[in-house]
Amino acid sequence: MFLWSRLSFLTACLAAAAVSQTLRVDFPAESPVTVVSADWGTSEASPRGGALVVDLRTTLRLRNSGAAPIRGVTLVVLAQEVTPGGKASVSVPSLNVAPGETFPVRIDLRLLRPLQATAGPLVRVELDGVLFDDLTFYGPDRLNSRRTMTAWEIEARRDRRCFKSVLAARGPEGLREEILASLARLADRPSLDVQVSRRGRATTLGAGRRLEFALLRWPDAPIEPLAGAALVAPQEAREATLEVRNRSGRRVRYFEIGWILRDRQGHEYLAGSVPAEIRLAPGEITQVSTDATLRFSRPVAVEAMRGFVSRVEFDDGELWVPSREHLSGERLDRLVGPSPEEQRLANLYRKKGLGALIDELNRF
Amino acid sequence: MSHPQATALALFAGGELPWWMRWRVRWHLGACETCRREVEGYRRAAAWFRETAAELPPGFDWERAAAEMRANIQLGLEAGECVSGPERAVSRIRWRVAAAVASIAVVVLGGWWLHMPHPRAPRFEAPLVASTSEGIQIREPEGSLTLLNSGAVPVMVSASAEGAMTARFIDEETGLVTVNHVSVE
């Protein structure tokens, strides 16, 4: 009993010390984004069995110290002592921050780690990239933030164009209908909780059964999916393989195929995507495969699968994303969900009404 | 699987369990990653405590502390003699009964030993990413990192077959779209 009370006291002491030495923010000296302040909010640490749970809640206020408006920022969150095989990041897309202005980035995280004390901070927050409104990029780009944020920005421009044209053609009430439809799609979006693991995780799949993809072929997509299959079982899908052809006249260095599952009741879910970093010359055909396992939170009797090209990056960094017509024509928009910008605009309407939305669309 | 109590794990970590209890806990640890981690935690905590305890305050009187401990032990022994009953001779019959019970116990324990499942080797678990009601997380044998959704609704979660997961939501505090992302190699 005495030993137990000593251990409780000890863990409480460790917990109190843990929060203060947990996080360090490191931005390059020449960064166009600088840290103005950091609010630690209700950060706390508490012992749980033989481990320590650290809840870290911080809001960083950043300043645009560059010369161009910022459209997005990505911060990488590293906890190498606890999760050496993983990386995390927090991105804020759909920004419009003029030079000299500040903006918040909230990072809420929970660490579960052994009680063992470590020297130095447990979590490091570093800048991975900043995207400006002219699509120039600054940052080390270790997490391919340039590609991701550029795709979000292209989708944002596509969606703003769409809403502006609706406003011009059908007036404020037409815009209201469009934005209400967007909110309804988001609310009705079917979700499926999954775990993703790679290399060597034990599975319950056994042999499973091989299921072919029904592939959507859009005439203007630079990549044409030719064939594909994956192993499926009631609670898992894995080992997706796809054959694609580059039908554009340009070299492709990256593409993503969206992966949709349909169960016996006819419900469809966006299970995930199959990305591929690859050098593909014009006209070339290649096969890609993944060793990842998608494990569902509940049994799903998968009856059919669909695949569609969701993103393509050319060798010069230019990106292709599907149009809204592509997505709505195949009823994919209710599965894929809105872009970050559409989500932001819909939330603006929900919070402040139609007038605020129209003002926002007229800003840029 | 039922787990030993936390006190038993703590005493095991300090080598303070009786041998049969120690054996049972060790057998359990062979198959239970959670308890093994807990024991490791106690050992690290004890090591830290020993290091801290080595730094005693200046002027600590060892002689006085030792005299107080001897007095307490003597007091305990005298109190024990006051409450103990008179010593009785052990009869030959009781020795025979004890021998018979011991023989039966050996047979029962031997049979149980031969039929019990052998401890399994710990299964290696590769790091994975997962979504929970609170956020998306990286899970590894040594711990986990969760990027929290901060209670936002709705949250759009999507997975990638490269071993990554993304959660997108509107942060109610900042009003901005926030995209959390985790990945494993």
Whether residues A45 and A98 share a domain: the answer is yes
Over residues B120-127, the mean pLDDT reads 53
The 8 Å CB, 24+ separation contacts for A9-13 are A10/B45, A10/B48, A10/B49, A11/A47, A11/A52, A11/A115, A11/B45, A12/A47
Whether residues A222 and A315 share a domain: the answer is yes
Query: What is the per-residue pLDDT for B5?
Result: 81
Residues A268 and A236: their CA atoms lie apart, in Å, by 15
Q: Binning pLDDT at 50, 70 and 90, where does residue A123 land?
A: confident
- The letter for the amino acid at B122 is P
Structure tokens at A154: 């292209």
pLDDT tens, position by position, B135-153: 999 998 878 999 998 888 8
ipTM of the complex: 0.90
- Indicate whether A205 belongs to any domain: yes
- Indicate whether A147 belongs to any domain: no
With a CB-CB cutoff of 8 Å, which residues 71-90 of chain B face chain A?
none
**DSSP label at residue A42:** T
How distant is the alpha carbon of residue A272 from its chain centre? 11
A78 and chain B: CB distance < 8 Å anywhere?
no
Let me know: does A113 contact A52? Beta carbons within 8 Å: yes
| Chain A residue numbers touching B173 (CB-CB < 8 A) | 59, 104, 106
B184 SS3 class: strand
pLDDT tens, position by position, A187-232: 888 888 889 987 654 455 456 799 999 999 999 999 999 999 999 9
- Indicate whether A137 belongs to any domain: yes
Residues B141 and B132: their CA atoms lie apart, in Å, by 18
Structural domain boundaries, residue A182: 152-189+342-363
Q: Binning pLDDT at 50, 70 and 90, where does residue A180 land?
A: very high
Structure tokens at B20: 């049969």
Query: What is the per-residue pLDDT for A235?
Result: 85
Decide if pLDDT at A47 tops 90: no
- Indicate whether A184 belongs to any domain: yes
pLDDT tens, position by position, B63-105: 665 666 666 666 666 665 555 544 444 556 677 777 777 877 7
Whether residues A48 and A175 share a domain: the answer is no
Whether residues A96 and A163 share a domain: the answer is no
Structure tokens at A307: 């695949």
| Rg from Cα positions in chain A | 23
B50 and chain A: CB distance < 8 Å anywhere?
no
Query: What is the per-residue pLDDT for B27?
Result: 86
- Indicate whether A229 belongs to any domain: yes
CB contact under 8 A, A51 and B14: no
Report the gap between the CA of A232 and the closest CA in chain B (Å): 14
Report the gap between the CA of B116 and the closest CA in chain A (Å): 25
Residues A52 and A48: their CA atoms lie apart, in Å, by 6
Q: Identify the helix (H) or strand (E) that includes residue A114.
A: strand A102-114
Whether residues A11 and A137 share a domain: the answer is yes
Query: What is the per-residue pLDDT for A311?
Result: 96
Structure tokens at B183: 């990945």
Let me know: does B132 contact B119? Beta carbons within 8 Å: no
Whether residues A257 and A327 share a domain: the answer is yes
The verdict on domain B6-115 having CATH code 1.10.3470 is: no
- Indicate whether A146 belongs to any domain: no
- Indicate whether A17 belongs to any domain: yes
What secondary structure does DSSP assign to A295-357, as a single string? EESS---EEEEEEEEEEEEETTS-EE---HHHHHHTT-HHHH---HHHHHHHHHHHHH-HHHH
Whether residues A128 and A158 share a domain: the answer is no
CB proximity list for A61: less than 8 A, separation 6 or greater: A35, A36, A37, A38, A39, A102, A103, A104
Decide if pLDDT at A115 tops 50: yes
Residue in A with minimal Cα distance to B7: A4
Parse chain B into domains and list their residue ranges: 6-115, 128-183
- Indicate whether A325 belongs to any domain: yes
Decide if pLDDT at B120 tops 50: no
Measure CB to CB from residue A193 to each of B49, B131, B181 and give the nearest one. Answer: B131
Whether residues A211 and A262 share a domain: the answer is yes
Whether residues A128 and A228 share a domain: the answer is no
**For chain A, how many structural domains are there in total?**
3
